[in-house]
Homo-oligomer: A and B are copies of this chain.
Amino acid sequence: MNTIKVSVPSTSANLGSGFDVVAIAHDAYRESLVLTVIDGGRGEITVESGSRKVAFQKNTAGLAASLIMEEYGISADLRISLTKSIPTGLGLGSSGASAAASVYAMNLAFDLGLSDNEMVRYAMLGETASSGTPHADNVSAALLGGITIVRSTDPMDCVSFRPEYGPNLLTVIPYVRLKNKTRSAREMIPTTVETDRAIDNSRRLSSLIHGLITGDRKSLYFGLNDAIYERSRISLYPYLDMFREKMLELGAVGVCASGAGPSILAFLDEQSDIRSMEKAASSIMGSFKLRFRMVSSGICGGARVE
């Protein structure tokens, strides 16, 4: 019997114009996974989230582990125990975190020598247990840390970097539960876009990447905006425009939806008046009759052994 404990951070994907491509790892939350390997078993996987047993195929950690087991012909029994602290279904990469932690633990436990990109691939496939559609953004940030760009999905290829300027992040997390949010959110994305809007988004995305790497305030401001993807899901975070306007007034660098929402992510710097932002958030969320939490965080590393 062999036990390994790993942890992964919360993550925010998309960042406005970087839909399905860009994500950031932050220390708003960090949660752990314990993998126990029982040799001589028959390849059975049990998954416990807190004290609740869940079917492994329906859990992102369980599915990711089973894919690896199958591909590497592993016959040991696995016990995966998740201690969830990233709020689920709120756009903070909770489902991706479990998948990422599972793959990271499997790689170490069985000494598989997986590359970063191979880990991202397995975690992405594992996350389909929750999202239906494979997407690598959250899992890449949860695994590799920093800011990640999914450069390619075929072959899977991600690059991660950790910019010198920070950034300082603020997450506004409303307590809204939407059943199957991730699936429905995907259905809200239009199947075609007008070229002019696509080019408009290319401008924003170029700004975003420039801003994320260099810290250029104006590039981040232009980039943390989107006219297609974030916009098409506005009903999932109807308060976003009010937030954006108010937070920018109070000196935020930029504001965007965190993943498919409902959480909001703001990039801050020394010009930002956080105290007034808290008051503004109370007033805006109050008008939507929503309870919420605000968490200040910074960019952080990815998966690690605990």
Size range of the chain A interface in the assembly? 35 or more
A198 CB contact (under 8 Å) in B161, B193, B204? B193
Bound form: Cα–Cα A272–B191 in Å: 40
A152 at interface by CB-CB < 8 Å: yes
Within the assembled complex, what's the spacing in Å between the Cα atoms of A216 and B213? 13
Residues of B within 8 Å of A161, CB to CB, are 210, 214
A150 vs B207: C-alpha distance when bound (angstroms): 8
Q: Which residue of B lies closest to A198 (CB)?
A: B198
Cβ of A112 < 8 Å from any Cβ of B?
no
Interface stretch (choices A19-27, A38-46, A99-107, A248-256): A19-27
Contact, CB under 8 Å: B20 / A218:
no
The reply to whether the CB of A243 lies closer than 8 angstroms to some CB of chain B is no
Contact with B along A115-151 (1 / 0, CB 8 A): 0000000000000000000000000000000000111
> What residues make up the interface of A, taking CB atoms closer than 8 Å to B?
17-22, 149-153, 157, 159, 161, 189-195, 198-199, 201-210, 213-214, 216, 218-219, 222-223, 228
For the A-B complex with A19-B199, A150-B206, A198-B198 known, give 17 more contacts whose Cβ atoms are closer than 8 Å.
Answer: A18-B206, A19-B202, A21-B202, A150-B203, A151-B203, A151-B210, A152-B207, A153-B203, A159-B219, A191-B195, A195-B228, A198-B228, A201-B202, A202-B202, A202-B205, A206-B209, A209-B210
